[in-house]
Amino acid sequence: METSTIDYLLQHTSIMMYRQADQTLQERLGIGMSQYKLLAFLHDHPDAGQRFIADSLGQTEASISRQIKLLTEKDMVETEVNPRSRREHRVVLTVRGAKLTNAARDILEQSQNSVYDRFSTKQRQQFKDMLTALHDHTCQEGRSYACNHSFMV
């Protein structure tokens, strides 16, 4: 019973926080969380290919391709020939896309701070430690959909 309660609370809270963040970004910047996640990923991994992006974000390549098309139409990303391999193309942020990514990070940080400010410093550290342990176990190499990286702050 306790495990199912923890699972429910974790999943429900995650979904609700995602929806609230999505709504906030839609209202303030005209993009949703899916587009923001792609922009942020491109900001942090400028040489990533579509397959790596899709795997890392837990989405299909078709979904990433759709998001890239939408973001290209909004002049937030552009596709260019990879200088290392002429057969490959890569997606890069435009100046507008980089500015919007930074603005979205600021907006999300402000809205999330109101949630985490309810916890003491000790509670925040314990929460972070527990989530890090859960992440490291869930995403260890060899597991389905593992991100294969440690989360570092």
CATH number at residue 53: 1.10.10.10
Domain with 49 in it: 25-118
| Domain assignment present for 1 | no
Task: Report pLDDT for 145.
Answer: 65
Task: Report pLDDT for 149.
Answer: 54
In order, the DSSP letters of the chain are: -HHHHHHHHHHHHHHHHHHHHHHHHHHHHS--HHHHHHHHHHHH-TT--HHHHHHHHT--HHHHHHHHHHHHHTTSEEEEEETTEEEEEEEEE-HHHHHHHHHHHHHHHHHHHHHHTTS-HHHHHHHHHHHHHHHHHHT-TTSTT---S----
- State whether 62 and 111 are in the same domain: yes
Task: Report pLDDT for 153.
Answer: 39
Task: Report pLDDT for 152.
Answer: 45
Q: Average pLDDT across each block of 10 residues of the chain; the chain has 153 residues. List them in order.
A: 85 94 96 94 87 86 92 92 74 94 95 90 94 86 65 44
- pTM comes to 0.81
Task: Report pLDDT for 148.
Answer: 58
- State whether 46 and 110 are in the same domain: yes
